[in-house]
Amino acid sequence: MAVGKIRKSDEEWAGELTPEQFNICRKKGTERPFTGELNDCKTPGTYICACCGNPLFDSTTKYDSGSGWPSFWAPITEDAVATEEDRGLFMRRTEVLCAACDAHLGHVFEDGPKPTGLRYCMNSVAMKLEPGEGD
């Protein structure tokens, strides 16, 4: 299912988000490792975008990568997230964005576990957990 785009001005986002959420999600910041409340979370459920509520990841794909950020081996659906090249900080990485509102979520790396070999390394503050049973 395709995701409809949510477009708001920086002023609108700043009025809806905490300063930390705004810095990370809208200004492409990064939280310090091992500080996010979702890093060690083992609660079953769905991780959703903190900005717009778009479902992003299922807890069954979350694993401990040792990186200090919540890590997943796959998004909840192929069209839940978008990616684009990030050449910031003098390196090439692949940025992960919410497909619905373009919030910066984190980065994806090719050093994850099977079955995908991917590590979606996300900022805790960019997501919220909707507790549930998981799939």
Active site residue 121: yes
Per-residue b or e along 79-97, where b marks 16 or more CB atoms closer than 10 Å to that residue's CB: ebbebeeeeeeeeebebbb
Q: Closest Cα to residue 129, out of 66, 48, 70?
A: 48
Q: Choosing from 25, 51, 101, 121, which is the catalytic residue?
A: 121
Rounded to whole angstroms, the Cα distance separating 30 from 46 reads: 22
| Locus of tokens 């619905």 | 100
Residues known to be catalytic:
121
